[in-house]
Amino acid sequence: MSAKAQAFIDKLLQIVASKDHSRMDELLGETITFHTPRFLKPHTDRKVVKLILQGIPMVIKNFHYERTWPAGDEAIMEFKGHVGRWVVHGLDIFTVGDDGRATELTVFVRPPKGLEALGEAEDKLAAFFGKPPAPTAAPA
């Protein structure tokens, strides 16, 4: 077991349980790459990634992590929640840097109808708060 990955998991579970998602900033490295199932290109703007992660509880009702696995420098976390009438089920795979903060996040979501509903809900939230810029290409 990786102590660094487990410490990251423990901190993220505390933040989710406290419902104080403003603390997501504590978990993000100075540089981060966010691979989302909605876009081909990853988000690399730390501010945008932070806003997306803070908005998850507004988009996915009853968001919670069911199982977690520390694996080397990665924290793998299985989540579930509801978007409209759909149950969404997915994985967050965080790469944890030497400072204990995430440098990369890859998200997988199923079923396809749940992902579609999640995208529609995210778009409504973005329209309300101001749409973030489109993802940029990963640095070469």
pLDDT, tens digit, 9 for 90 and up, residues 36-87? 888 888 989 998 888 888 888 888 999 999 999 999 999 999 999 999 899 9
Q: Which among 104, 99, 40 has a CA at the least distance from the CA of 76?
A: 104
* In the predicted structure, residue 133 carries a pLDDT above the cut 60: no
Residue 112, number of CB atoms within 10 A of its CB:
10
Torsion sign, CA atoms 51, 111, 105, 39: negative
Model's pTM, two decimal places? 0.85
Compute the average pLDDT of residues 12-39: 91
- Domains of the chain: residue spans and CATH: 3-129 (3.10.450.50)
Answer whether 83's CB lies under 8 Å from 60's CB: yes
Give pLDDT tens digits for 92-111.
Answer: 999 999 999 999 999 999 99
Residue 96, number of CB atoms within 10 A of its CB:
24
Residue whose entry in the numeric block shows the structure tokens 């309300």: 128
DSSP state string for the chain: --HHHHHHHHHHHHHHHHT-GGGGGGGEEEEEEEE-TT-SSPB--HHHHHHHHHHHHHHSEEEEEEEEEEETTEEEEEEEEEETTEEEEEEEEEEE-TTSSEEEEEEEEE-HHHHHHHHHHHHHHHHHH-PPPPP-PPP-
